Amino acid sequence: MSNSFKLNQPNPLLIVISGPSGVGKDSVVQRMKERGFPFHFVVTATTRDRRENEVHGRDYLFVSKEEFARMIDENELIEYAIVYGDYKGIPKAQVRDAFASGQDVIMRIDVQGAETVRKLAPNALLIFLTCESEEELEKRLRERKTESADSLALRIATARKEFQRLDAFDYVIVNQDFHLDDTVEKVRAIINAEHLRVHQRQVDL
């Protein structure tokens, strides 16, 4: 009997959700989790202080600078960077374990980190989240009330630079205020379409 109609299982995808501070990366990932999307969500390691509503192991892996230095020394991170004075990094083991079980992997990282992942894994799927305007971004950052005036100005200036890096990404989505589910559906549509490609992305780490 001919196997000419047999299709291989899609390769697991390494999906990066990125964009400037304040565009809603955390909210998009959180809503995907709430809706039970079948992905492994990478938990980023960071040396920054835990915010009041954050949970260790769910939102971030909160580690000391000494522990982070050990992870760097032992080559346990896919990428890491200093972000506003604190270290953030992506543990390799999480991604490899998820791939081994055939799961897609989603990581939420800043634009600099996304470009590092692209160098390491050229076939990663990079999605850039943005706001409708710079004014909207500034409004969202102010409403978070987690920034000093100096920190707010730095994040806005950084965002302007990050918008110039758009060419490094595969897709761009405007995450409109009060339309979170629309954004999540767009992310899901992109991932579904990628799994239907004839020439699959192949990621090796």
Q: How far is residue 115's CA from residue 195's CA, in Å, rounded to a whole number?
A: 22
- 132 in any annotated domain: yes
Q: Is residue 201 in some structural domain?
A: no
| Among 35, 50, 142, 144, the one annotated catalytic | 144
Closest CA to 137 of 163, 112, 113, 111: 163
Q: Note down pLDDT in tens along the chain; length 205 residues.
A: 556 667 778 899 999 999 988 898 989 999 999 998 889 999 889 999 898 889 998 888 999 999 999 999 999 998 888 877 899 898 998 899 999 999 999 998 889 889 989 998 999 999 999 988 878 887 887 777 666 778 888 888 888 888 889 999 999 999 988 899 999 999 999 999 999 999 999 988 7
What's the CA gap between 80 and 112, in Å, rounded?
A: 9
Respond yes or no: is residue 58 known to be catalytic. no
pLDDT, position 3 = 61
In a domain, 200, yes or no: no
At 86 the three-state DSSP class reads strand
Residue 144 falls in the annotated catalytic set: yes
Q: Which helix (H) or strand (E) holds 72?
A: helix 65-73
pLDDT of residue 2: 56
Question: What does the pLDDT read at residue 157?
Answer: 87
Query: 171 lies in which domain range?
Result: 14-195
The CATH number assigned to the domain holding 96 equals 3.40.50.300
Predicted pLDDT at 4? 66
Q: Residue 51 catalytic?
A: yes
Active-site residue (options: 35, 50, 51, 197):
51
Residue 204: inside a domain: no
Q: Can you give the pTM of this predicted structure?
A: 0.83
pLDDT of residue 81: 84
Q: Which residue has the tokens 């992905």?
A: 39
